[in-house]
Amino acid sequence: MLKIQNALLTTTYLPSPHCDHRPDADDISLIVVHNISLPPAQFGTGSVEKFFCGNLNFNEHPYFETIKELRVSAHLLIHRNGDVTQFVPFDRRAWHAGKSFFQGRENCNDFSIGIELEGTDDIPFEKKQYARLAEIIQLLQEKYPKITREHIVGHSDIAPGRKTDPGPAFDWSYLDCLLNP
């Protein structure tokens, strides 16, 4: 169970070694939305979880050889069915954004929460994923009031030219409707 403020959200917790201390745990002010699937465009394989936890067998698929040197994680993964896995506590820095900047600040990992959606840039996301994402965002905004709507961005917004996710299949207008009923 993930506890944010006084609300409980059922999650699975799989601790990732790919995190460290934030420079200032009181400076959480950004949510970065990502997408991921391993192998690409394959869902429900369990490979994302293994990758974030440092347990992926790189011989299982040819694509895995291309990510072998990466050490990444996210705070949360929202699966296609809406289930949530947490890898890094919010007060710790997950390694999700890489080289990045937002409103004149570099190193977005320092002050952001990374939320991965199981998906790809060009396959529509599930309604259950949007509902869960909106629920999580609202809970996080209660706990971290610096996270305003303008501080909810895609990976492509903080790493333009380097990243494209969550991609054109992500419906920001639909998310906005869920956040502002």
DSSP per-residue letters across 131-148? HHHHHHHHHHHHH-TT--
Degrees, nearest 5: CA angle 83-85-124: 50
* Three-class secondary structure of residue 86 per DSSP: strand
What per-residue confidence (pLDDT) applies to 1? Answer: 46
Catalytic residue check, 126: no
Q: Which of 49, 116, 126, 135 is catalytic?
A: 116
What per-residue confidence (pLDDT) applies to 136? Answer: 96
Q: Encode the chain (181 residues) as per-residue pLDDT tens digits.
A: 454 544 456 789 999 999 999 999 899 999 999 999 999 999 999 999 999 999 999 999 999 999 999 999 999 999 999 999 999 999 999 999 999 999 999 999 999 999 999 999 999 999 999 999 999 999 999 999 999 999 999 999 999 999 999 999 999 999 999 999 7
* Helix or strand run (H / E) with residue 156: helix 155-158
Q: φ, ψ for residue 18 (rounded to 5)?
A: -90, 65
Degrees, nearest 5: CA angle 119-121-126: 40
Q: Structure tokens of 18?
A: 């790919």
DSSP per position, 36-74:
E-SSTT--S-SHHHHHHTT---TTSSGGGGGGTT-----
| β-bridge mates for residue 132, sequence order | none
- Domain interval for residue 171: 2-179
What per-residue confidence (pLDDT) applies to 41? Answer: 98
Task: Report the CATH number that the domain containing residue 130 is assigned in CATH.
Answer: 3.40.80.10
The dihedral formed by the CA atoms of 71, 102, 80 and 180, expressed in degrees to the nearest 10: 160
Would you give the DSSP letter of residue 113? E
Pair 20, 107: CB distance under 8 Å: no
What total of structural domains would you count in the chain? 1
